[in-house]
């Protein structure tokens, strides 16, 4: 009984909230909604609605606080999908809230959405790394490892994160599986590096160089002059590689960054051990990335020189094959033309015969449809007449029932009158009978008196 009353009270409050919202009285709606939460603090929907109202009034902090309470309520009631939706609202409203990404990862795991969970966990790790919070990064990595995820991209991310925070001892256990799958490991990075295929580079080119390469590569199909075009393309590609090396300037960048790190170390000679450790990790990470970049450029240059000779031979063979194919195609086209012409004649004759047969069938079908239509029309006419007759009979029956009901009422009144008369007659008979009895008694009394007088007169 108490629960029913509380539900009725909450429904009444929510109706008032809706009316206030319709009138744009958001402050009054917030007060009423807070009253509903006092009646039932376990309903996450109420916190969600409250947060939306706060957001509409511009009170972002209060909205985020309401959303957080809603997340806790949904998790208590085992509604992870709703809790995840509120976490996304928190992330949009308050970008400074780092913990919400960890919560979103956990909720995604509850929903068995492991790919989404890894995205949220690594966002959380990136933000904690920016804060130099190594302990929290380690805790999150251990939590990811406990899930038993075997995805190679996730393992590479874990490996790179361990290397970036200086935990090479933990990173080593992922090397065998990464090498087995042929993944290019880029230590010190926080993203999953692309897996280069044969003849491709694993580096990302600058925008200006990339646009130059796209303009250099031909888009037309190979033709008789493909060998000459390929030579010209190779020369332009070599020029692009030279431009790339000049643009990157690896040696200058390495020297400049090294000097900057040394200056930073001298300037902050009394820096904390954590800062020194971070500077060392930065220097180590940059050196590894520079080596990887240089190796990729060298590999790209070597593969381009080796592939040039192969491509020239392939294009020469391709030219001869294309000429042979052209001749065969001409013969095939001529034969196909003749066959298509013959087939066209046969198809025209067959089509005419089919059209004639179809016209006959359609004519027969039209006649059949006409006869069926006439029969249906007769049936509909008969049905309409029968329906009218039934309706008239129903009207007569209805009138008869009405007159019968009236007669029944009149007979009932007459019967009641007769009954009353009979009762009056019976009462009169009873009264007459009573009077006759009294008269008989009087006659007997008088007779007795006369007899007594006669007897007296006799004796006298």
- Please say if the pLDDT value at position 234 is more than 60: no
pLDDT value for 203:
35
The per-residue pLDDT for range 68-94, each reduced to its tens digit, is 999 999 999 889 999 999 999 999 999
Please report, for residues 2, 22, 343, the alpha-carbon distance to residue 189 in angstroms, rounded to integers and kept in the order given.
60, 52, 66
> For 118-122, which contacts have Cβ atoms below 8 Å and span 24 or more sequence positions?
118/144, 118/149, 118/151, 118/154, 118/157, 122/157, 122/161, 122/190
Phi, psi of 113 (to 5 degrees): -110, 80
The per-residue pLDDT for range 316-337, each reduced to its tens digit, is 776 677 777 767 777 777 777 7
Instruction: Tell me which of 37-46, 104-113, 366-375, 445-454 is least confident.
Output: 366-375
Cα(305)–Cα(333) distance, integer angstroms: 41
pLDDT value for 201:
38
Instruction: Tell me which of 141-150, 230-239, 398-407 is least confident.
Output: 230-239
Instruction: Tell me which of 445 and 369 has the higher pLDDT.
Output: 445
Best mean pLDDT range from 47-56, 322-331, 345-354: 47-56
Helix, strand, or coil (residue 304) = helix
Please give the average per-residue pLDDT across 421-447, as a whole number. Answer: 88
Taking a C-beta distance cutoff of 8 angstroms, is the pair 247, 206 a contact? yes
- Please say if the pLDDT value at position 216 is more than 60: no
Cα(376)–Cα(241) distance, integer angstroms: 86
Give per-residue burial for 250-288: e unless 16+ CB within 10 Å, then b.
eeeeeeeeeeeeeeeeeeeeeeeeeeeebbeeeebbbeb
Please give the average per-residue pLDDT across 206-211, as a whole number. Answer: 42
Q: Which two tokens stand for residue 186?
A: 């880029």
Helix, strand, or coil (residue 221) = coil
Helix, strand, or coil (residue 186) = coil
Instruction: Tell me which of 274 and 123 has the higher pLDDT.
Output: 123
Instruction: Tell me which of 144 and 309 has the higher pLDDT.
Output: 144
Number of alpha helices (DSSP H) and beta strands (DSSP E) in the chain: 15, 0
- Please say if the pLDDT value at position 221 is more than 70: no
Look at the block and give the residue holding tokens 């008032």.
16
Taking a C-beta distance cutoff of 8 angstroms, is the pair 207, 315 a contact? no
Q: Residue 217 has what DSSP assignment?
A: S
pLDDT value for 288:
59
Cα(10)–Cα(2) distance, integer angstroms: 12
Taking a C-beta distance cutoff of 8 angstroms, is the pair 298, 250 a contact? no
The per-residue pLDDT for range 282-306, each reduced to its tens digit, is 556 555 556 666 666 666 566 555 5
**What is the rounded average pLDDT for all residues in the chain?**
75
The per-residue pLDDT for range 359-410, each reduced to its tens digit, is 887 777 777 777 777 887 888 888 888 888 888 888 887 887 787 888 888 8
Please report, for residues 39, 60, 199, the alpha-carbon distance to residue 443 in angstroms, rounded to integers and kept in the order given.
97, 119, 154
- Please say if the pLDDT value at position 422 is more than 80: yes
- Please say if the pLDDT value at position 268 is more than 90: no
Across 21-84, the runs of DSSP E, i.e. the strands, are none
pLDDT value for 140:
92
The closest alpha carbon to 166, from 294, 278, 286, 272, belongs to 278
Please give the average per-residue pLDDT across 200-222, as a whole number. Answer: 41
Give percent above pLDDT 90 in the chain: 20
Across 400-455, the runs of DSSP E, i.e. the strands, are none
Look at the block and give the residue holding tokens 């009646």.
39
Instruction: Tell me which of 36-40, 308-312, 373-377 is least confident.
Output: 308-312
Distance of CA 356 to the CA centre of its chain: 55
Taking a C-beta distance cutoff of 8 angstroms, is the pair 225, 233 a contact? no
Distance of CA 153 to the CA centre of its chain: 26
Taking a C-beta distance cutoff of 8 angstroms, is the pair 154, 144 a contact? yes
Please report, for residues 214, 308, 342, the alpha-carbon distance to residue 228 in angstroms, rounded to integers and kept in the order given.
19, 12, 44
Cα(159)–Cα(152) distance, integer angstroms: 10
Q: What angle do CA 276, 279, 283 make, to 5 degrees?
A: 140
């Amino acid at each position: 009984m108490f629960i029913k009353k509380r539900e009725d009270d909450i429904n009444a409050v929510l109706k008032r909230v809706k009316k206030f919202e319709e009138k744009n009285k958001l402050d009054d709606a917030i007060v009423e909604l807070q009253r509903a939460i006092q009646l039932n603090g376990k309903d996450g929907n109420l916190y969600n609605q409250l947060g939306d109202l706060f957001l509409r009034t511009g009170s972002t902090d209060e909205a985020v606080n309401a959303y957080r309470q809603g997340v806790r309520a949904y998790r208590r009631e085992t509604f992870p999908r709703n809790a995840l939706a509120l976490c996304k609202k928190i992330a949009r409203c308050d970008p400074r809230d780092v913990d919400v990404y960890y919560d979103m990862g956990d909720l995604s795991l509850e929903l068995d959405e492991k790919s989404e969970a890894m995205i949220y966990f690594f966002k959380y790790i990136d933000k904690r790394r920016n804060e130099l919070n190594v302990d929290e990064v380690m805790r999150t990595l251990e939590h990811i490892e406990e899930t038993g995820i075997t995805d190679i991209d996730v393992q590479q991310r874990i490996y790179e994160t361990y290397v970036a925070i200086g935990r090479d001892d933990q990173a080593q256990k992922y090397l065998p599986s990464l090498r087995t799958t042929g993944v290019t490991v880029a230590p010190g990075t926080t993203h999953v590096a692309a897996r280069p295929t044969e003849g491709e580079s694993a580096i990302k080119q600058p925008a200006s160089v990339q646009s130059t390469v796209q303009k250099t590569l031909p888009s037309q199909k190979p033709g008789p002059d493909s060998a000459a075009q390929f030579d010209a393309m190779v020369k332009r590609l070599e020029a692009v590689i030279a431009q790339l090396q000049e643009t990157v300037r690896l040696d200058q960048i390495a020297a400049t960054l090294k000097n900057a790190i040394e200056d930073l170390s001298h300037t902050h000679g009394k820096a904390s051990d954590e800062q020194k450790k971070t500077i060392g990790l930065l220097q180590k990470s940059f050196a590894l990335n520079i080596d990887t970049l240089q190796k990729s450029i060298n590999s790209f240059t070597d593969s381009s020189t080796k592939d040039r000779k192969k491509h020239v031979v392939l294009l020469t063979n391709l030219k001869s094959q294309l000429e042979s194919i052209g001749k065969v195609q001409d013969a095939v086209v001529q034969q196909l033309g003749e066959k298509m012409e013959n087939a066209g004649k046969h198809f025209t004759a067959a089509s005419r015969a089919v059209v004639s047969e179809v016209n006959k069938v359609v004519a027969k079908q039209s006649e059949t449809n006409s006869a069926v239509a006439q029969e249906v029309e007769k049936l509909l006419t008969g049905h309409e007449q029968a329906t009218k007759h039934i309706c008239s009979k129903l009207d007569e029956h209805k009138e008869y029932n009405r007159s019968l009901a009236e007669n029944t009422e009149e007979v009932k009144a007459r019967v009641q009158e007769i009954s009353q008369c009979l009762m009056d007659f019976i009462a009169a008979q009873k009264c007459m009978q009573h009077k006759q009895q009294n008269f008989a008694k009087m006659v007997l009394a008088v007779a007795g008196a006369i007899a007594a007088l006669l007897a007296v007169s006799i004796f006298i």
